Chains A and B, each alone.
Chain A
Amino acid sequence: GEDVEQSLFLSVREGDSSVINCTYTDSSSTYLYWYKQEPGAGLQLLTYIFSNMDMKQDQRLTVLLNKKDKHLSLRIADTQTGDSAIYFCAEDFTGGGNKLTFGTGTQLKVEL
């Protein structure tokens, strides 16, 4: 079945770059997503990448996709304390944002 894996924790200093990694098993996904969850809240879509792209940049966020290795990463430049949250990668198997499969989430802690 589908499986999406992430490391559970990442700690960085304020101002440094953060790189959150994700691996997935299904090569038929159409879109891959990064969501952010702040404590006690729902998920907020940060960015997504179409499966035929290698890279997408959106302000401080850079998404890299290696389809051969089934590896997705999210780089946050100039990480701020407000970036502290849980980050989930997700992929869909039916196209159009339906029936997402989520990773376990990576807790990002930004230290001063």
Chain B
Amino acid sequence: DGGITQSPKYLFRKEGQNVTLSCEQNLNHDAMYWYRQDPGQGLRLIYYSQIVNDFQKGDIAEGYSVSREKKESFPLTVTSAQKNPTAFYLCASSSKHPEAFFGQGTRLTVV
């Protein structure tokens, strides 16, 4: 089945550590996105990529990094520079059709 897969579903990070969240899609979509969701704040765009080997900062990119070496994959690294990383992270992909498909999310908790 075609879809977008995020892993892991739950992730715990110690302070000062970097962690990487995985996002894979087999929908042949060119564009991929990372959003952060906090209660009462909706979704905020972290990074997005419209084509392989290219990506742009979103509204809250500080403390995060991404890569887009393959069309199918858009991993997000939460670095130790991100001071408040506990949140629900959502990955999405889209084609030219006006619809973005979302993964099931990764809940990151700092312990």
Contacts and interface: CB of A to CB of B under 8 A. Distances in A.
Interface in B2-61: 6, 31, 33, 35, 40-45, 48, 50, 58
Interface stretch (A13-21, A62-70, A72-80, A98-106): A98-106
B104 A92 contact: no
Contact of A42 (B31, B33, B44, B105): B105
A48 B98 contact: yes
Interface stretch (B62-70, B75-83, B89-97): B89-97
Nearest to A44: B102
A4 B107 CA distance: 24
Contacts of A41: 104-105
Interface residues of A, number: 28
B102 A98 contact: no
Given A41-B104, A42-B102, A42-B105, A97 B97 contact: yes
Given A43-B90, A104-B42, A105-B42, A97 B99 contact: yes
Given A48-B98, A88-B42, A98 B50 contact: yes
B29 to A, nearest CB: 10
Given A6-B42, A97-B100, A102-B35, 13 more contacts: A8-B40, A31-B98, A42-B102, A43-B90, A45-B99, A45-B101, A50-B98, A88-B42, A97-B31, A97-B95, A98-B31, A99-B45, A102-B43
Which 10 pairs across A and B sit closest by C-beta, in order of nearness? A42-B102, A104-B42, A97-B94, A102-B43, A43-B102, A97-B98, A31-B98, A102-B42, A42-B104, A96-B96
